[in-house]
Amino acid sequence: MSDSSSEIAALHNQGRLLISCPDRPGIVKGVSQFLFEQGANIVRSDQHTTDPEGGHFFMRIEFERKDLDQQFTALKESFRQTAETLDMVWQMSRSSHKKRLAIFVSKEDHCLNDLLWRWRVGELNAEIAMVVSNHLDLKPWVTPMGIPFYHVPCTRETRLEAEKTHLKLLAEGEVDTVILARYMQIIPSTMVERYQNRIINIHHSFLPAFVGANPYKQAYERGVKIIGATAHYVTEELDQGPIIEQNVERVDHRCHVDDLRRIGRDVERLVLARAVQWHLNDEVLVHGNKTVVFR
Amino acid sequence: MSDSSSEIAALHNQGRLLISCPDRPGIVKGVSQFLFEQGANIVRSDQHTTDPEGGHFFMRIEFERKDLDQQFTALKESFRQTAETLDMVWQMSRSSHKKRLAIFVSKEDHCLNDLLWRWRVGELNAEIAMVVSNHLDLKPWVTPMGIPFYHVPCTRETRLEAEKTHLKLLAEGEVDTVILARYMQIIPSTMVERYQNRIINIHHSFLPAFVGANPYKQAYERGVKIIGATAHYVTEELDQGPIIEQNVERVDHRCHVDDLRRIGRDVERLVLARAVQWHLNDEVLVHGNKTVVFR
Amino acid sequence: MSDSSSEIAALHNQGRLLISCPDRPGIVKGVSQFLFEQGANIVRSDQHTTDPEGGHFFMRIEFERKDLDQQFTALKESFRQTAETLDMVWQMSRSSHKKRLAIFVSKEDHCLNDLLWRWRVGELNAEIAMVVSNHLDLKPWVTPMGIPFYHVPCTRETRLEAEKTHLKLLAEGEVDTVILARYMQIIPSTMVERYQNRIINIHHSFLPAFVGANPYKQAYERGVKIIGATAHYVTEELDQGPIIEQNVERVDHRCHVDDLRRIGRDVERLVLARAVQWHLNDEVLVHGNKTVVFR
Amino acid sequence: MSDSSSEIAALHNQGRLLISCPDRPGIVKGVSQFLFEQGANIVRSDQHTTDPEGGHFFMRIEFERKDLDQQFTALKESFRQTAETLDMVWQMSRSSHKKRLAIFVSKEDHCLNDLLWRWRVGELNAEIAMVVSNHLDLKPWVTPMGIPFYHVPCTRETRLEAEKTHLKLLAEGEVDTVILARYMQIIPSTMVERYQNRIINIHHSFLPAFVGANPYKQAYERGVKIIGATAHYVTEELDQGPIIEQNVERVDHRCHVDDLRRIGRDVERLVLARAVQWHLNDEVLVHGNKTVVFR
């Protein structure tokens, strides 16, 4: 949150190590010994084993290492050996690295406005590379902030062309992560595959309840007493991807569909913001169709 | 909550009027004029109109009337005329009247224990006429409290006989309301019809998510970040009746199915207790497949 | 929420009646009879009695009356008589009337940004007459929206002058309600008196815990597991006015003061927004140092 | 939660290691290397550093070691050396060890009933050595469960004698932890010192708001919109000890003091139960006047 120069210096020497592997004795020992020998101090460490017997092991470590920027490539190279011994899937990154985001929107602006505000005040450790929309409505809120806004219409006829344009924009913009901030179009499988576990959608219901279109209307008709929102990674199946975060709000019989929409907007934007923040901080690991969130 | 004698006296002079009718001008005027003329003072009043244009109108009034017990029959008779003029479905009761409950259970006792405790400390304005179970396990917690415990086995073979026994017990016990406090058997349609909007079930999921058997296992497999419980009136369709109350609790990747069950127990018993309390206080009105809860 | 022309027409024929008086028989009858005779249909009605015996009575009614705009003055005049008979403090307004707001801010923009966004999408039934600040930092976010921004420095030396300027601005801007959206200065008693129960402050703690300066630091030092925010009407005593709304969020041992500030921002802006919305809809009545909120 | 014999076997081979020391490089490496060399596999590990620069380090490890019961004393002895090198305060225990509890109550039974139920269904990993009360009211709910109930009156005159009796009972009962489950008497400093960070109290407010007597009445008079409860370790200063857990529930203007009490009871017993469970599982570490909770 703070941006004093000493904190930035600290961040520049901070790295993250994410590990996933079959559980077995000696993993923590191996990793902590490696870091110790490399002069890196563990600042934060989280781990999870799915099952004490024959389960899967997940670990996230934040460490500090003097002159990390200069040593980073060497450090990664050295770790490769440890990782191979222990049969790990792993990823090492510098905490100072900012992921590049593309935010996809349609006409509703509550999630976009919220993300842009958080980015502006320093809550999102990211570069916003672009905003992409199938409508022009939200352009006036984007361009004054110096963020490119791309209008890519997406109708039944133009779908294939839109898909090509999207992939080209994302590639050229060197985008890491795509945020669907109430983008009301299906994401084609090409993009889902290319950005696996890197496309975050906000669905305006408490999944798995009210999959698909118009969840607030569905909620109204079922007469639920609580509504919710769900942020999840996008997979091929609609609204079925790994859930990152959910939250809810109480409603009652006086609420019409429009009230549910209004109340829901506040839930949606907070749920999406949290999921995005955790993703940007490499705090989310995917395991099958579930997430491990080290927050 | 308090049971001082002055409060009990007050309750003896307190009545409730529930009204449901097509909305039209003059309803509040008509009802409040009637009560004023009958010497009754409105203590609490709640109303709801489903839609300002051509909607349905619901009202619940608590009133005080000197010597209500003696005047109650006459008061009801007088209201009949007002009610007919305004095409109302209505119900008048004395607040001091205690509904007679039957609690159905199987083997899990968290909801039963909670309801018995609330009854004992005076939180439930009811008589517990009986506890009915398809197992004997929970008998030791019931009979010491002086409450009859009926063991009615219910297998594929004995289902029809069990149904007959149930209906006989309920009739003989003059039961108003049936609470399914984790009773793991389907309620036959004969009973559903006879006790329409008077059978309350607790379902251990946030409906409409995870309908049917083993919702915590379903929740675990979907990887949700929040679990819930739902109290609803029982209708012919499984887990589809009007929802009275729901609540939720946060879970995370470290929770196994057994953890969800443990955490869920606390949600279930509180949700059921609230729904039962509201029902006993005539605070729940059913409208189609939804409830209006005046709490 | 919707802005279809039929809804606007409906709103133009909609009025609100707020009543406060010692409880006694016949109030509801009197008021509902008056409205019926005046051709007004009750759309929503809420009431509260502080105590069944000799308590105080509060009522809020939303009604519809054909040609309300033309009939409004006459309707108010007619009600005066009913009101006098029943010793009422009362207020009648048209639902279409928009209150004029002044938003006071210092340097933090999370509440301001949230209120401006809600205003823009139609969630606030108000005109924003001006934003007033003791700093220039937030001007760039205000003036592009066509809202006047007044910079009124407020130091120990200039305090008296600032007070005069404030009162002049508010008077000239015909301001109804002042929102202190993280305005870090004491409000002088002249302004408190002039805008009694019309100045809403957001305090960044769960009052009455952590009154005064730097509540997040206080919360951090006490080691609480939940933080909160409180919206209240401003009175002479600091952070002691009638509470309109509060909410909370869970924190843990990993949260530093900066984390509490970040998490708290989301609580603050939602709590303030709700309080402002309820106030704008005349849903808040003050009784002594408490509020009755008919939401 | 489950009590299948294979799980019990697993628990018998499971140990916990709690560590607290000044932060410095090599701690995780040292500890994990020790466990690896001793044939112990880390099942769960949590750690916390108060500050990346010169802070304090906390760690809790659950490990599995074949034949732990037989090896436990040797394992502890071996760790002593590692611990000394790293200047640690530490504690090693077997997960199968059940702490012995004394529950102190007065007249209100909601917390006691809840704890006894959880103990009965296996949610509390503890032996309940005794229930102690200054009244006889709750005896009938305790003795049928085979738990000794000691009636120790505690008035101004008998206070010193009561204190002696308490300490004697606790010593003879080999009590580890004292739970004040709505015990309405001050705990003398002798007991506080002897059972440092081992006496858990439930206070019926959201501390630090409403310290001392009658917090619900205080809450009612302040007009708060949310009430809460706080479980904390008891220290010399009333209601000022390290907070373990807090939770809240929404209330509104319709709630009288008795309603706050009733709603509060549900919050209190859940908050206390969680704090007790975490304490029993050695998941709570005290740091100054705060807690680190590894749940």
Residue with tokens 């707020």: C18
Contact A206 B225 (CB under 8 A): no
For the domain with range A5-94, which CATH number is right: 3.40.50.970, 1.10.1200.10, 3.30.70.260, 3.40.390.10?
A: 3.30.70.260
CA B115 to CA B128: how far, in whole Å?
10
pLDDT at res. B171: 98
Residue with tokens 């801007």: C173
The shortest C-alpha distance from D106 to chain A (Å) reads: 36
Rg, chain D, Cα only: 21
Query: Do A3 and A53 meet the contact criterion of CB atoms below 8 Å apart?
Result: no
The size of the B-C interface in CB pairs under 8 A is 50
CA B230 to CA B271: how far, in whole Å?
7
The structure tokens listed for D268 are: 């209190």
Burial of B31 (0-12, 13-18, 19+ CB in 10 A): buried
Mutation target among B253, B259, B294 for the A interface, most CBs of A within 10 A: B253
| Strands of the C14-22 sheet, one edge to the other | B89-94, B14-22, B56-64, B41-49, C41-49, C56-64, C14-22, C89-94
The shortest C-alpha distance from C71 to chain A (Å) reads: 29
Which bin fits B97, alpha (ψ -120 to 50), beta or left (φ > 0)?
Answer: beta
- How many other C-beta atoms are found inside a 10 Å radius of the C-beta of residue B256? 14
Question: Helix and strand tally (H, E) in chain A?
Answer: 9, 13
Contact A52 D25 (CB under 8 A): no
Over chain D (295 residues), what is each successive 10-residue block's mean pLDDT?
Answer: 48 92 91 95 93 88 94 95 89 96 97 97 96 97 96 93 97 98 95 97 96 95 98 95 98 96 98 98 96 96
User: Residue B27 — φ and ψ, nearest 5°?
Assistant: -65, -55
Residue with tokens 């109204």: A220
Contact C246 D252 (CB under 8 A): no
Average pLDDT, chain B: 94
The shortest C-alpha distance from C253 to chain D (Å) reads: 5
pLDDT at res. C7: 53
CA A157 to CA A154: how far, in whole Å?
8
The structure tokens listed for B136 are: 């004997």
CA D91 to CA D20: how far, in whole Å?
9
Residues of D with a Cβ under 8 Å from any A Cβ are 10, 24-29, 32-33, 35-36, 39, 41-47, 49, 52, 64
Name every chain D residue with its beta carbon within 8 A of the beta carbon of A39. 25
Q: 3-class secondary structure for D174-214?
A: CCCEEEECCCCCCCCHHHHHHCCCCEEEEECCCCCCCCCCC
Mutation target among D115, D182, D265 for the B interface, most CBs of B within 10 A: D265
Residue C293: which of D255, A23, A274 has the closest Cα?
A: D255
Residue B14 carries which side chain, given as an amino acid letter? Q
Which residues, given as ranges, of chain A have pLDDT below 70? 1-10
Annotated active-site residue B239? The verdict is yes
Contact C52 B10 (CB under 8 A): yes
Alpha helices for D38-126 (secondary structure H): 68-85, 110-121
Mutation target among A221, A237, A253 for the B interface, most CBs of B within 10 A: A253
Question: Helix and strand tally (H, E) in chain B?
Answer: 9, 13
C-alpha distance from residue B211 to each of A239, B206, B240 (Å) = 18, 9, 9
CA angle A123, A126, A127 (to 5 degrees): 125
pLDDT at res. D7: 52
Residue C213 carries which side chain, given as an amino acid letter? A
For residue B158, pLDDT beyond 60? yes
The shortest C-alpha distance from D184 to chain C (Å) reads: 23
Strands A89-94 and A14-22: antiparallel
Contacts of C213 (CB under 8 A, 6+ apart): none
Residue D229: which of D186, D187, D200 has the closest Cα?
A: D200
Half-sphere exposure of residue C93, counting CA atoms within 13 Å on the CB side? 14
Contacts of D116 (CB under 8 A, 6+ apart): D128, D141, D142, D145, D147
Which chain B residue has the Cα nearest residue C31? B29
Give the pLDDT confidence of C63-110 residue by residue, as tens digits. Answer: 999 999 999 999 999 999 889 988 899 999 999 999 999 999 999 999
C43 vs B41, B46, B52: nearest CB: B52
CA D217 to CA D210: how far, in whole Å?
9
D262 vs B1, B109, B110: nearest CB: B1
Residues of C with a Cβ under 8 Å from any B Cβ are 10, 24-29, 32-33, 35-36, 39, 41-47, 49, 52, 64
Annotated active-site residue in D46, D239, D258, D259: D239
Query: Do A251 and A229 meet the contact criterion of CB atoms below 8 Å apart?
Result: no
Give the pLDDT confidence of A75-121 residue by residue, as tens digits. Answer: 999 999 889 988 899 999 999 999 999 999 999 999 999 999 999 99
Alpha helices for C66-152 (secondary structure H): 68-85, 110-121, 139-142
Give the pLDDT confidence of A213-237 residue by residue, as tens digits. Answer: 999 999 999 999 999 999 999 999 9
Which chain C residue has the Cα nearest residue B29? C32
Contact C289 D223 (CB under 8 A): yes
Burial of B195 (0-12, 13-18, 19+ CB in 10 A): buried
Give the pLDDT confidence of C242-258 residue by residue, as tens digits. Answer: 999 999 999 999 999 99
- Domain spans, chain A: 5-94, 99-293
The shortest C-alpha distance from C173 to chain B (Å) reads: 35
Query: Do D48 and D20 meet the contact criterion of CB atoms below 8 Å apart?
Result: no
Active site residues of A: 239
B64 vs C45, C47, C52: nearest CB: C52
Same fold, D5-94 and D99-293: no
The shortest C-alpha distance from D57 to chain B (Å) reads: 23
The structure tokens listed for A164 are: 């090509």
Residue B48: which of C43, A257, C35, C295 has the closest Cα?
A: C43
For the domain with range A99-293, which CATH number is right: 3.30.70.120, 3.40.50.170, 1.25.40.10, 1.20.1260.10?
A: 3.40.50.170
Active site residues of C: 239
Mutation target among B4, B29, B31, B68 for the C interface, most CBs of C within 10 A: B29
End-to-end Cα, chain D, rounded Å: 15
pLDDT at res. A86: 82
CA A114 to CA A119: how far, in whole Å?
9
Which range is least confidently modeled, C5-14, C197-206, D66-75? C5-14
